[in-house]
Structure 1
């Protein structure tokens, strides 16, 4: 059944609105836009090309940049299967001074796509370990702290992030220690050191 062009636009707009105006070529096609129609909208300037097969409605480009638009793009790249995690999740939660040079994503064990621009961690995350944001998902502060501790990269960054999370009341010592124990001895040691640093 052919769709009216206004129906197609409304359908794609609903999808893009939950993704800060971003959408994939596949989503556009599902909404009723042929590849020829997609090229037309790009040429007319209605859609901005963000990356290969990734677009954004022009109207959204005027919105205030929240600073995490690239996380929306990576979520779309992964077809919604990736969760922002580790250092990147700490930065998304504004905890500590983590400033990763590459995006950290946790993907399911069977995930096959690759990119040199991201560091991928493979794990099947529980729903309780993930928060929904507009256009992407991120591990909770509790999980992000434990993940960072498990990597053992920079104890000073972990110390600061743990102190901030406790001061803000978004985690408790008991829950943090339990989350770290679930990720292994290295995570547990890092969290214990961070808690001792607060004493």
Structure 2
């Protein structure tokens, strides 16, 4: 392998390393892989095509949140893991959503099976960076779930977990719910009442 190709490969692996082994066609182009080179690497088995314009290094170790990185890249890096999916990331409550919840900009137009899109994006103050994806903060995720009217018992369990672990406070949780409106405020009020707060 030539030194130029080796350096391309190293740069791709550095990028993929920050994204659980995933990368997009656009990112590969930016590194220096033409679309023809991308097709060659897929055909040769060097890359796995996961979705249109999304690839993965085949030998990369799996991680429980790989699917979140995949959907973030599918969204062009615009999406933020939110709602019930964010509760799973923060290990709050017992919820196990059947789809990935992703908040996207108001003008976002793509759709796919296995994902539930929410608009608009949360404010940056309510977003945390993770390896390969972004996720709403625990307080925001709880408020989003209250607004979405998830089962109250699930919300109460998640709120109780968050308070016990010090991930939010009743005041911050009430403030996050107030930003989303009366439905979120009411769900959070009931959950805090159930937690004795």
Q: Distance in 2 between matches of 1:42 and 1:51?
A: 12
Match of 1:90 in 2: 87
The 5-angstrom pairing of residues 1-199 of structure 1 reads: 4-60=4-60, 63=61, 65-199=62-196
Q: What SS is found at the alignment partner of 1:165?
A: helix
The Cα of 1:152 is off from its aligned counterpart by 1.1
- Per-residue CA shift, 1:105-152, capped at 9, x if unaligned? 111112122223211111232221001111000000010000001111
Q: Distance in 1 between matches of 2:32 and 2:189?
A: 54
Q: Distance in 1 between matches of 2:112 and 2:47?
A: 25
Q: 1:116 to 1:48 in 2, by over 3 A?
A: closer
In the alignment, is the contact (CA less than 8 A) between 2:51 and 2:74 conserved in 1? no
The Cα of 1:36 is off from its aligned counterpart by 2.2
Q: CA RMSD in A?
A: 1.5
Q: Distance in 1 between matches of 2:128 and 2:168?
A: 14
Q: Distance in 2 between matches of 1:178 and 1:81?
A: 25
Q: Distance in 1 between matches of 2:93 and 2:57?
A: 34
The Cα of 1:13 is off from its aligned counterpart by 2.0
Q: Distance in 1 between matches of 2:41 and 2:52?
A: 15
Structure 2 unaligned residues grouped into runs of 5+ = none
Q: What SS is found at the alignment partner of 2:59?
A: helix
- My pick for the range that moved more, 5-14 or 102-111, is 5-14
Structure 1 unaligned residues grouped into runs of 5+ = none
* Structure 1 ranges of 4+ moved more than 4 A: none
In the alignment, is the contact (CA less than 8 A) between 1:9 and 1:31 conserved in 2? no
- My pick for the range that moved more, 9-18 or 188-197, is 9-18
- My pick for the range that moved more, 9-18 or 85-94, is 9-18
Q: What SS is found at the alignment partner of 1:190?
A: helix
Q: What SS is found at the alignment partner of 2:164?
A: helix
TM-score, structure 1 length as denominator?
0.91
The Cα of 1:11 is off from its aligned counterpart by 2.5
TM-score, structure 2 length as denominator?
0.92
Number of equivalences: 194
The Cα of 1:169 is off from its aligned counterpart by 0.7
